[in-house]
Amino acid sequence: MKIVELGESALKKGRDLAIENKKFLDTKGVFAFDVMGSVGSGKTSIIKWLVRKLKGDYKIGVIAGDLTTEVDALRIEEEGVPVVQAHTGRVCHLDPGLVRTAIENLPLDDIDVLFIENVGNLICPAAVPIGVHKEMVVTSVTEGPYMIKKHPYMFQRADYVAINKIDLQKAMNVSVHGLEEDLRELNPNAIVIGTNGITGEGVDKLIQCMSFQQ
């Protein structure tokens, strides 16, 4: 019997495409972030705040990944920066081929910093690199006390972790401090900031810790 598996060859092909994406962005002078996190963690809200606060200093572009809708892309477009919507259909993560097409649809000569909002999911985006310079995870206290512990692969690779919805710590009986301790065990080097995606609290602090060039 013949057995075929996704296996190493497909994964390697994906990794090669991701490396090519990053090289392509480098030739265009674009520094890119993959913004990942669960459905409803506040990825779009945090990206909106980042764009709002950074657009005076950098030329920003955004790719919004979603299955079939444009709601997030429309919210970000309100900030007046170029946005491309990447539709994945039934697929639960962005893949580097789709990201490449989305990148090529942006005015790259007018972009220094690119935020790519991945599909809401803490599992497969950790296994599918898309070709960026830095990875950010937005998680939130409303996801309960074990979200970080249960998704080690995602959090091990993150450069930045925003723990969002800090205003709901009491209501949820989940502390930012506890989540931060879980993260430290997995990834002592990540930068962790508590944020509020409604008011923008914490976003300035996050920006102070971020780098926007190699």
Site of interaction with Mg ion (CB under 5 A): 43-44, 72
Between 54 and 99, CB nearer to Zn ion = 99
* Residue 151 touches Zn ion, criterion: CB under 5 A: no
Report the residue count for the chain.
214
- The single residue among 92, 168, 172, 207 that binds Zn ion, judged by CB under 5 A, is 92
Select from 6, 40, 46, 32 the least CA-distant residue to 96.
32
Between 38 and 44, CB nearer to Mg ion = 44
**Shortest Å distance, C-beta 191 to Mg ion:** 21
Structure tokens at 77: 């477009």
**Shortest Å distance, C-beta 39 to Mg ion:** 8
User: Any residues with CB less than 8 A from the CB of 185 and at least 6 apart, and which?
Assistant: none
- In angstroms, the CA 52 to CA 177 distance is 27
CB of 110 closer than 8 Å to CB of 29: no
**Shortest Å distance, C-beta 127 to Zn ion:** 8
Between 118 and 187, CB nearer to Mg ion = 118
The residue range among 4-12, 37-45, 107-115, 123-131 that interacts with Zn ion, by the rule CB under 5 A, is 123-131
Q: Which partner, Mg ion, Zn ion, none, binds residue 124 by CB below 5 to 8 Å per kind?
A: Zn ion
Residue nearest to Mg ion as judged by C-beta position: 44
* Residue 93 touches Zn ion, criterion: CB under 5 A: yes
* Residue 124 touches Zn ion, criterion: CB under 5 A: yes
Between 74 and 123, CB nearer to Zn ion = 123
Beta pairing partners, 35: 117, 136
Structure tokens at 40: 């409803």
Between 124 and 172, CB nearer to Zn ion = 124
CB of 139 closer than 8 Å to CB of 37: yes
Q: Which partner, Zn ion, Mg ion, none, binds residue 135 by CB below 5 to 8 Å per kind?
A: none
Q: Please, what's the b/e burial string for 130-157 (b: 16 or more CB within 10 A of its CB; e: otherwise)?
A: bbbbbbbbbbbbbbeeebbeebeebbeb
Q: Which partner, Zn ion, Mg ion, none, binds residue 172 by CB below 5 to 8 Å per kind?
A: none
Query: Of all residues in the chain, what percent are helix, strand and coil, respectively (each to 5)?
Result: 45, 20, 35
Q: Which partner, Zn ion, Mg ion, none, binds residue 151 by CB below 5 to 8 Å per kind?
A: none
Distance of CA 31 to the CA centre of its chain: 13
Point out which residues bind Zn ion (CB under 5 A).
92-93, 124
